Amino acid sequence: MQKSRKRLITMLSGCAMIAAVGFMPSTPAQAEPNIDDVQKRVDRLYHEAEQAQERYNDAKLELRDLQGDLDSLEADQDRQDAAFEDVRDQVQDSIVRQYEGESLSNVGQVVVSDDPQTFLAQLSTMSAFNDLQSQLFDKYATEAEALGIRQDATEKRAADVAETEKQLAKEKAIVDDKLAEAKTVLGDLKEKEREEMLSRGVVRVPSDVPASGRAAAAVQYALAQVGDSYVYGAAGPNAFDCSGLTMMAWAQAGVGLPHSSSAQFGSGPHIAMGDLQPGDLVFYYSPISHVGMYIGNGMIVHAANPGTGVVVSSVSSMPYSGAVRPG
């Protein structure tokens, strides 16, 4: 009797467990992504891509300067080559005159080398050297040294150019990778959720901005681009990155800015946050990798990211680093 009762209890317990399992809600194989988590991940990817793009912009500016230096050095080297050849010809003429009246074989033995250092070594051992004017020899030695210095400088600058070009390619690859990853993350969201996520923090364009002077032209241009696309490295007319927008906006006021947020940070006097005026440039993150234009009432217009484009946002929507007043 006792064993029968135990078997009955075991059977009933098993039935109860089966019933409980049967009524438990099934867990989906893959839960729907949390929109806040996706927002953070996409924002991080966009920011990492923008950091790489700004480094790319900085490298382009450096490459431009390096190439200018290289062009100048090469021009100097051409001039130095000509000066060196002129002195070399004078030295050779002087040597030939020393051997006038001697056999052609003797003259042929003193034809100078094309290499400056080799020629100096030859010249120092020639029997005719004592008869050459010391001033001419000194001039030749000076020109040869100057030419060598320019050749070394040119080679170093050319190596710098090549290294900077490699850095450009590296940063461009990072931009492309981060953007592709962000697009993949966004692709996992439904259209409605994606639109909701991308619209967060976007403010309506104000109808009146109290700007004056050259700043008014810059602000007017920047606000007219609201709704345009964000494209890394772009500076208009229909797409911009952050520094491309501010550069083109201030160009309308006759103020030239570099296409780089960190470089723009050094383009004018620094302004305290409490003294911001419409047209001032506002910078974000550390190191600086984003810039917008202040338009008053605690708002900026900026090229935000590829998902949002050019929009109006709060001045405190990102980690604030400082502000500059161009012009």
Nearest residue to 222 via CA among 298, 280, 155, 147: 280
Tell me, rounded to whole angstroms, the distance of Cα 191 from its chain centroid: 33
DSSP state of 115: S
Separation between Cα atoms, residue 142 and residue 134, nearest integer Å: 12
Query: If you compute the radius of gyration of the chain from its CA atoms, what whole number of angstroms results?
Result: 36
Q: Quick check: is 302 catalytic?
A: yes
227: left (phi > 0), else alpha (psi -120 to 50), else beta? left
Q: Quick check: is 290 catalytic?
A: yes
Name the active-site residue from 47, 242, 259, 270: 242
Residue 300 neighbours by CB distance under 10 Å: 27
Are 157 and 70 in contact, with CB atoms under 8 Å apart? yes
Strand runs (DSSP E) across the chain, as ranges? 229-230, 239-240, 281-284, 290-296, 299-303, 310-314, 320-324
Token couple for 112: 């100078």
Name the active-site residue from 47, 259, 270, 302: 302
Half-sphere exposure of 4 (CA within 13 A, CB side): 1
Vertex 225 angle, CA 223 and 228, to 5°: 140
Q: Quick check: is 242 catalytic?
A: yes
Pairing type for strands 229-230 and 239-240 reads parallel
Are 208 and 316 in contact, with CB atoms under 8 Å apart? no
Name the active-site residue from 15, 47, 259, 290: 290
Separation between Cα atoms, residue 279 and residue 274, nearest integer Å: 14
Query: What are the residue numbers of the active site?
Result: 242, 290, 302
